[in-house]
Amino acid sequence: AQTSYAFIGLGHLGGHLAASLVRNGFSVTVFDRDPAAVERLVALGATAAKSPAEAAARAGNVITCLPSPQVSEAVLAGPEGLLEGLPSGGSWIEMSTNGRDEIVRLAALASAKGVETLECPVTGGVHLAAGGKITALVGGDAALYGRHRSAIEAMCARSFLMGPIGSAAVIKVITNMLAFIHLVAAGEALMLAKKGGLDLAQSYHAISASSGNSFVHETESQLILNGSYDIGFTMDLALKDLGFALGMGEDFGVPLDLASHVNAIFAQGKDTYGGGAWSTMIVKLLEDAVGT
């Protein structure tokens, strides 16, 4: 088992994943362009590096959790990037959500430098990540997965090896497409309950016990009802992932009517509340439209 990892990208999700590694006794060297994010991990026992290259050289294996494929590419292959520090034979574990073509292309860049890639996007949200209970969707070589399995299991309660590089991106984008459709559906349901004069807490419990229940309803409806919307996942990230879903629909020749409609609603959400607003605010569009 590997015991030493560099972790780059300590945001809403990556901060929790890196903390789980530290908590489970792994030696973790961190880098983020946000010094406050680095400080939080150093306080837990991680060591700070000055660049992705330095972190990678120190640890020999790297995990990333970054906001877009463009940023992942810069951190991987840009100046002072991971490929400048990783030894040949080192590993890159990419936990950001990418499209299939994007991760296949990035893995090829790494492979040209003798670095093996495991894609490991996760699903379940920051609240599950905080408790080490998130689910990992893995794509890549089975032996490489085996080598890093103890680290993955330190961060994630379950992991599914889906197939070669790119296959985890496909299933991850599918799960998010479902989650965004479910979120809009849960929001419409809650607004009907509200306008129908029902007790909303009781409606939440009734829906949770019903055939209309979903993971999204269970985990997000209360954040909508209590007005915090605090899901730890932004509109920008939702639009990124819906873009991957719609691209897959085109590539695979599958019409995605619901996802297209939900994508347009999220575009309106971004216009109204900004790309940094929580994705759950999408329901506020409808709340504002129907009034209290």
Residue closest to ligand NAD (Cβ): 11
CA nearest neighbour of 101 among 72, 78, 69: 69
Q: Is 266 in the site for ligand NAD (CB under 6 A)?
A: no
Q: Please give the residues from 206 up to 245 whose contact with ligand NAD meets the rule CB under 6 A.
A: 232-233, 237
Q: Using CB under 6 A, pick the residue from 126, 200, 258, 286 that binds ligand NAD.
A: 126
Q: Is 12 in the site for ligand NAD (CB under 6 A)?
A: yes
**Separation between Cα atoms, residue 101 and residue 244, nearest integer Å:** 9
Q: Using CB under 6 A, pick the residue from 4, 25, 33, 87 that binds ligand NAD.
A: 33
Q: Is 37 in the site for ligand NAD (CB under 6 A)?
A: yes
- Nearer of residues 140 and 232 to ligand NAD, judged by Cβ: 232
In the residue annotation, 172 being an active-site residue is answered as yes
φ/ψ of 134, rounded to 5, equals -75, 165
- Nearer of residues 13 and 248 to ligand NAD, judged by Cβ: 13
CA nearest neighbour of 284 among 202, 209, 227, 206: 227
- CB of 98 within 8 A of CB of 119? yes
Segment lying near ligand NAD (by CB under 6 A), choices 5-13, 22-30, 184-192, 247-255? 5-13
Q: Is 41 in the site for ligand NAD (CB under 6 A)?
A: no
CB of 92 to ligand NAD, least distance (A): 14
Burial 216-240 (b: 16+ CB within 10 A, else e): bbebbbebbbeeebebbbbbbbbbb
Q: Please give the residues from 157 up to 186 whose contact with ligand NAD meets the rule CB under 6 A.
A: none
Q: How many residues bind ligand NAD (CB under 6 A)?
A: 25
* Mutual angle of helices 282-290 and 167-195, in 10-degree steps: 20
φ/ψ of 14, rounded to 5, equals -60, -35
Q: Is 99 in the site for ligand NAD (CB under 6 A)?
A: no
Q: Using CB under 6 A, pick the residue from 66, 115, 151, 162 that binds ligand NAD.
A: 66
Element (H, E) at 83: helix 82-85
Which one is catalytic: 172, 240, 270, 284? 172
- CB of 5 within 8 A of CB of 150? no
CB of 35 to ligand NAD, least distance (A): 9
**Separation between Cα atoms, residue 37 and residue 232, nearest integer Å:** 15
- Which pair of structure tokens corresponds to residue 76? 């991987």
DSSP state of 247: H
- Nearer of residues 193 and 238 to ligand NAD, judged by Cβ: 238
Q: Is 75 in the site for ligand NAD (CB under 6 A)?
A: yes
Count, residues in the chain: 292
| Residues identified as active-site | 172
Interface with ligand NAD by CB under 6 A: which residues?
A: 8-14, 32-34, 37, 65-67, 71, 74-75, 96-97, 122, 125-126, 232-233, 237
